[in-house]
Structure 1
Amino acid sequence: MRNKPRLDSIDRAILFHLQQDGRLTNVELAKRVGLTPPPCLRRVKRLEADGVITGYRARIDPIAAGLGLEVIVSIEVGVTDLQTLDGLEATIAGYEEVIELRRLFGTPDYLMRVLVADHAAYEEFQTKKIIGIPGVARVISHLTMKKIKVHD
């Protein structure tokens, strides 16, 4: 087990600013956190090496990308053997429509977020990809009325 890195207020400021804009130049980031560029870069490299910063990515507007429907899906399974659960997880995680998959304690067994173009695309995804997976006993779909707070 890895030791948990100690983060000071400057490390936390670096993380905050990079979460807001991962494309900040080192010079701009250093200015925002009150450092000169060389020590700022050393800290960013250390945060990456320690696994605190795990990567950088582009945030995509789903509607602009033609994926205007997000569905939260609860899945209950009817089996308890690990081989079936591993297969179920691998299958679901491999679908491009699935943007998040979590195994939960209690009921439901899994929670996933799905992004698709529209209701017809979701119906096809659920009926042709999810329902037939061995072990899936129940699928409950939740459509979002309004997003209040989202952490990317």
Structure 2
Amino acid sequence: MNNKHQPDPHSARILAALQQDGRLSVQDLANRIGLSTTPTWKRLKALEQAGVIQRYTAVVDRAQVGLATCVLAEVNLSRHVENVVEEFEAAVRDCPTIVECYSTTGQADYVLKVVTPDIAHYDAFLHQVIFKLPGVNDIRSAVVLREVKSHGPLPV
């Protein structure tokens, strides 16, 4: 790769192809990007070692596994002292029901993406987990009616 911010054209094609299908063999990947197998493998390993490719995963249809409800929860903390923030973020990382968490500017300190089987389970989750997280002062929830675009590939 040329630098940390802009992959060279072959590396960009590798990244684009793998974001569409992470199960491509090195041979299939090489064919798709127009390089031979050895240089493709070397570029792939370099992307992995540099941390550009962080991991390989499967995209699971949450409704098919009983997690039909998705809620975006805006959370504000009561205090912004270091230990409260660290405790809150550690608790969020340890909670599998919270699948994404973003520290944000604007109205909310954090935006959480929460998945549950239904709204009753989300209500229970609020009372049993979210309200008990360190420093939580205020929560606003928006129930997702439908996902228009999610898990989109990065435009490399």
**After superposition, what is the alpha-carbon deviation per residue over 1:91-150, rounded to whole angstroms, capped at 9, x for unaligned?**
122111010011112320010101111111101111111112231111111011222222
1:47: which partner in 2? 47
User: Is residue 72 of structure 2 the alignment partner of residue 105 of structure 1?
Assistant: no
Q: Which amino acid aligns with 2:44?
A: V
Pairwise mapping of residues 2-151 of structure 1 onto structure 2 (< 5 A)? 4=4, 6-151=6-151
Q: Which amino acid aligns with 1:21?
A: D
Residues in 2 aligned to 1:77 and 1:108: alpha-carbon distance in whole angstroms? 9
Cα 1:93–1:16 shift into 2, 3 Å = same
Residues in 2 aligned to 1:65 and 1:22: alpha-carbon distance in whole angstroms? 21
Normalised by the size of structure 2, how large is the TM-score?
0.90
Specify the SS of the correspondent of 2:64. coil
Residues in 2 aligned to 1:134 and 1:151: alpha-carbon distance in whole angstroms? 29
8 Å contact kept, 1:69–1:116: yes
Residues in 2 aligned to 1:64 and 1:134: alpha-carbon distance in whole angstroms? 32
Shift of 1:6: 5.0
**How many residues of Structure 1 are paired with residues of Structure 2 in the alignment?**
150
Residues in 1 aligned to 2:5 and 2:83: alpha-carbon distance in whole angstroms? 35
Q: Which amino acid aligns with 1:71?
A: V
Residues in 1 aligned to 2:133 and 2:33: alpha-carbon distance in whole angstroms? 49
Q: Which has the higher contact order (CA 8 A, sep 6+)?
A: 2
Specify the SS of the correspondent of 2:138. strand
Residues in 1 aligned to 2:5 and 2:137: alpha-carbon distance in whole angstroms? 42
Q: Which runs of 5+ in 1 are unaligned?
A: none
Q: Which amino acid aligns with 2:113?
A: R
Show structure 1 runs of 4+ deviating over 4 A. none
Specify the SS of the correspondent of 2:132. coil
Specify the SS of the correspondent of 1:51. coil
Identical-residue share of aligned pairs (%)? 33
**After superposition, what is the alpha-carbon deviation per residue over 1:34-70, rounded to whole angstroms, capped at 9, x for unaligned?**
1111111111011111111111011111011111111
